[in-house]
């Protein structure tokens, strides 16, 4: 049994074990869930300590209308396993907390500014993992070399001039088929006109709450475009990590003020509510 556990109390009567799993999967891979519906408590076991730390970030949030108390008996430390990574994949638990928060918002949930600020502070305190930094840099460089030549990066090319950024990105994509072969959201985002902004968001610890909302809009829009090009609706990940639940196809944008884009759906304002 994993030692990387968190305890959840104050759970709503309406919350199921699947709701809990969906909610906490954004934090990282879950190894098991022990749910006592009569006591309204649960113990979530994660594969990595960084996932448990991310889950604690959501303490005080709401799920299905109930305020959650999220605690742990031990302190969980971020463990950086080095700069290596699997081709085309980055583990959910290795991502910046601000990026994970953006995924929550893109999924159609609402996070309070307080929770978003916690994510920012965690990134500032602990930095971005070497594994994730290496992943983003190698992806940017590899795509750039393939599309533009030696010592070129995709994010740098599309930002050389703002006026021609969109045309450049489109031309590169048409010539090299980057978005057709890209294995994840980051490859597509880096090859977009805002590639430098995306790279800065995921590699810098200097962020504001509005930056998270802006990235959430990009993720939601990327999924919308991907879904519109599909012949049939399928369960898709956010494109930013295989561990993340699929984005709600009805989500089109997330308000910069944190307003729920699905007004009237009963979602809460502190942390994501699984419906």
Question: Could you tell me the CATH number of the domain that includes residue 2?
Answer: 3.30.70.330
Q: Are residues 75 and 139 in the same domain?
A: no
Q: Are residues 71 and 88 in the same domain?
A: no
pLDDT at 213: 96
How many structural domains comprise the chain? 2
Q: Are residues 68 and 102 in the same domain?
A: no
What tokens appear for 273 in the block? 């509510």
pLDDT at 98: 97
Q: Are residues 194 and 66 in the same domain?
A: no
pLDDT lower than 70: segments of the chain:
1-2, 80-89, 142-184, 229-275
- Long-range CB contacts for residues 66-70, cutoff 8 Å, separation at least 24: 66/10, 66/11, 66/12, 66/15, 66/40, 67/10, 67/270, 68/8, 68/9, 68/10, 68/11, 68/271, 69/8, 69/9, 69/10, 70/6, 70/7, 70/8
**Of 46, 79, 112, which residue constitutes the final position of a domain?**
79
Q: Are residues 151 and 165 in the same domain?
A: yes
pLDDT at 8: 97
pLDDT at 86: 47
Select from 241, 237, 242, 190 the least CA-distant residue to 218: 190
Helices (H), the chain: 17-25, 49-56, 97-106, 113-126, 130-148, 154-157, 165-176, 178-181, 185-190, 195-203, 209-228
Select from 139, 3, 126 the least CA-distant residue to 57: 126
Q: Are residues 128 and 247 in the same domain?
A: yes
pLDDT in tens, 75-88: 887 776 555 544 55
The domain in which residue 105 lies consists of 84-264
pLDDT at 142: 67
Q: Are residues 27 and 117 in the same domain?
A: no
Q: What is the pTM of this model?
A: 0.72
pLDDT at 75: 85
pLDDT at 271: 39
pLDDT at 78: 79
Q: Are residues 123 and 197 in the same domain?
A: yes
Q: How far apart are CA 241 and CA 239, in angstroms?
A: 6
Residue 271 lies in a domain: no
Residue for token pair 């969980």: 76
**Of 14, 47, 79, which residue constitutes the final position of a domain?**
79
Residue for token pair 């969906």: 22
Q: Are residues 131 and 182 in the same domain?
A: yes
Q: Are residues 98 and 230 in the same domain?
A: yes
**Of 28, 51, 79, which residue constitutes the final position of a domain?**
79
Q: Are residues 154 and 136 in the same domain?
A: yes
């Amino acid at each position: 049994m994993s030692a990387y556990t968190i305890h959840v109390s104050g759970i709503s009567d309406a919350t199921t074990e699947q709701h809990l799993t969906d909610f906490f999967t954004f934090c990282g891979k879950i190894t098991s869930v022990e749910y006592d519906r009569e006591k309204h408590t649960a113990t979530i076991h994660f594969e990595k300590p960084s996932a448990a730390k991310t889950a604690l970030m959501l303490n005080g949030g709401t799920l299905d209308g109930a305020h959650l108390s999220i605690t742990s008996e031990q302190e969980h430390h971020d463990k950086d396993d080095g700069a290596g990574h699997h081709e085309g994949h980055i583990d959910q638990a290795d991502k910046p907390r601000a990026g994970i928060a953006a995924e929550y918002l893109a999924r159609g949930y609402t996070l309070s500014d307080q929770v978003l600020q916690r994510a920012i502070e965690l990134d500032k305190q602990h930095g971005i993992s070497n594994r994730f930094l290496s992943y983003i840099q190698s992806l940017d460089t590899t795509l750039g070399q393939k599309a533009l030549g030696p010592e070129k990066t995709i994010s740098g090319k599309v930002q050389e001039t703002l006026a021609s950024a969109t045309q450049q990105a489109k031309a590169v994509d048409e010539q090299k088929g980057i978005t057709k072969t890209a294995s994840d959201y980051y490859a597509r985002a880096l090859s977009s006109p805002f590639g430098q902004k995306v790279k800065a968001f995921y590699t810098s610890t200097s962020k504001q709450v509005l930056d998270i909302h802006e990235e959430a809009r990009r993720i939601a829009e990327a999924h919308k475009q991907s879904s519109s090009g599909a012949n049939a609706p399928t369960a898709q990940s956010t494109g930013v990590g295989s561990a993340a639940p699929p984005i709600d196809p009805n989500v089109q944008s997330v308000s910069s003020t944190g307003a729920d884009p699905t007004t009237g759906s009963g979602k809460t304002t502190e942390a994501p509510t699984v419906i």
